[in-house]
Structure 1
Amino acid sequence: MLTIENLIKKFQQPGGGELTVLDVPKFEIASAEQVALIGESGGGKTTLLHLIAGMLSATSGSIRVDNIELTRLSEQGRDRFRAATIGYVFQTFNLLPAFSAVENVKLGMTFGSGRVDSERALDLLDRVGLAERANYRPNQLSVGQQQRVAIARALAGRPKLLLADEPTANVDPASADSVLDLIIDSCRSESIALLMVTHSMDVADRFERIERLEDINRIPALKQS
């Protein structure tokens, strides 16, 4: 499902020069496999997810998702591919405040196939325990409920790969386990490959396969700022 080879990402420094953030010789995830990637805050985990999702372009190297080479696609091509193939659970939810919960979930479908399945949107909200709040706007929902809507939206387009960026970081401990259960169980039931990045070993321990960023990235975290 995902194959990374010789991936390098550099950023231009404000004062000139370049900062190398990632240098990943090899990293793979099989179809329907669930992987936790653990690493320090600011160590490049989110940058890696953005590269896999096509939100950033690689400086060099190869990123193949579902047999498509992302580094050969234009920015628009990457956007279309992400919408059709990849779901993304953001740490900060990124829900649109003017839209209801069900409308936010439907947007996840629009970005992909362009076809809206209202029944699936409502079913997903029911699965995350928010059927009765389908017409609530984000500001009428708790933080944990907003994260559940974000999970439903990420699953709406039936992705083949789900990327989750510290999905429990902004929810209370009581909600964290239920958020993890939702993501893990939903991906398992729909045979979706899952890559979750986290700095928490408690979160990572929920996965059969755990990788450390420091083991796959040649750039030490202490050199990143």
Structure 2
Amino acid sequence: MLSIVDLIKKFQQPGGGELTVLDVPKFEMTRGEQVALIGESGGGKTTLLHLIAGMLTATSGSIRVDNLELTKLSEQGRDRFRAATIGYVFQTFNLLPAFSAIENVKLGMTFGHGGVDGARALDLLERVGLADRAHYRPKQLSVGQQQRVAIARALAGQPKLLLADEPTANVDPASADAVLDLIIESCRQDSIALLMVTHSMDVADRFSRVDRLEDINRIAALHQHPAS
């Protein structure tokens, strides 16, 4: 489902020069597999997800998702690929404030496999326990409810891979457990591969496979264990 080989990502620094944030020799996931990637904040976890989703371009190396080489695609090609293949749960939700819950979910279907389907959007909101809030706007929902709408939207396009970026970071502990249950079970039911990045061992303990960022990213390993 996902294969990364010799991935390098560098960013230009304001004063000149380049900063390398990712150096990943190899990382793989199989179809339907659920993986937690644990690492400290600022270690490159979000950057890695953005590269897998095609939101950023690699400096060098290979990223293959569902047998498609992302690094060979144009920006438009990556956008189409992401809409058809990837679901993304953002830490900050990224809901459009002027749109209702069901309208936000429908936006997740715009470029997906089945087109916009109002009945399926409502079914997804029911799955996350918010069918009765379908016409509420984000500001009328609690933080935990907003995150559940974001999960429904991420599932709306029937993705093959779901990327989750610290999805419990901005919700209370009780909501965090519900959010985790929802993501894990939804992916299991629909045979969606799940890659969740987190800094929390409590979250990582819910997964049968846990990888540490310092073990796959040479740059994170250098920061964790600087040479003496």
TM-score normalised by length of structure 2: 0.96
Number of residue pairs aligned between Structure 1 and Structure 2: 224
Q: Is the 8 A contact 1:21 1:219 kept in 2?
A: yes
Letter in 2 for 1:211: D
Q: Secondary structure at the match of 2:112?
A: coil
Q: Secondary structure at the match of 2:62?
A: strand
Q: Is the 8 A contact 2:215 2:221 kept in 1?
A: no
Aligned mates of 2:116, 2:222 — CA distance in 1? 45
1:190 alignment partner in structure 2 = 190
Letter in 1 for 2:28: E
Q: Is the 8 A contact 1:7 1:62 kept in 2?
A: yes
Offset at 1:114? 7.1
Offset at 1:134? 0.3
Aligned mates of 1:51, 1:36 — CA distance in 2? 17
2:41 alignment partner in structure 1 = 41
1:57 aligns with 2:53: no
TM-score normalised by length of structure 1: 0.98
Q: Where does structure 1 lack aligned partners over 5 or more consecutive residues?
A: none
1:27 alignment partner in structure 2 = 27
Aligned mates of 2:11, 2:47 — CA distance in 1? 11
Q: Is the 8 A contact 1:43 1:221 kept in 2?
A: no
Offset at 1:112? 2.3
Aligned mates of 1:148, 1:221 — CA distance in 2? 34
Q: Is the 8 A contact 1:87 1:163 kept in 2?
A: yes
Q: How does 1:83-94 map to 2 (within 5 A)?
A: 83-94=83-94
Q: Secondary structure at the match of 1:219?
A: helix
Q: Is the 8 A contact 1:109 1:117 kept in 2?
A: yes
1:208 alignment partner in structure 2 = 208
Aligned mates of 1:151, 1:15 — CA distance in 2? 39
Q: Is the 8 A contact 2:125 2:131 kept in 1?
A: yes
Aligned mates of 1:69, 1:220 — CA distance in 2? 25
Q: Secondary structure at the match of 2:109?
A: helix
Deviates more, 1:109-118 or 1:46-55: 109-118
Identity of aligned residues (%): 87
Q: How does 1:39-188 map to 2 (within 5 A)?
A: 39-113=39-113, 115-188=115-188
Aligned mates of 1:141, 1:220 — CA distance in 2? 37
Aligned mates of 1:155, 1:183 — CA distance in 2? 9
Letter in 2 for 1:123: D
Q: Is the 8 A contact 1:42 1:221 kept in 2?
A: no
Report Cα offsets for 1:183-222 as digits up to 9, x if no partner: 0000000000000000000000000000000000011367
Q: Secondary structure at the match of 1:27?
A: strand
Offset at 1:223? 4.6
Q: Is the 8 A contact 1:84 1:112 kept in 2?
A: yes
Letter in 2 for 1:77: G
Letter in 1 for 2:148: R
Q: Where does structure 2 lack aligned partners over 5 or more consecutive residues?
A: none
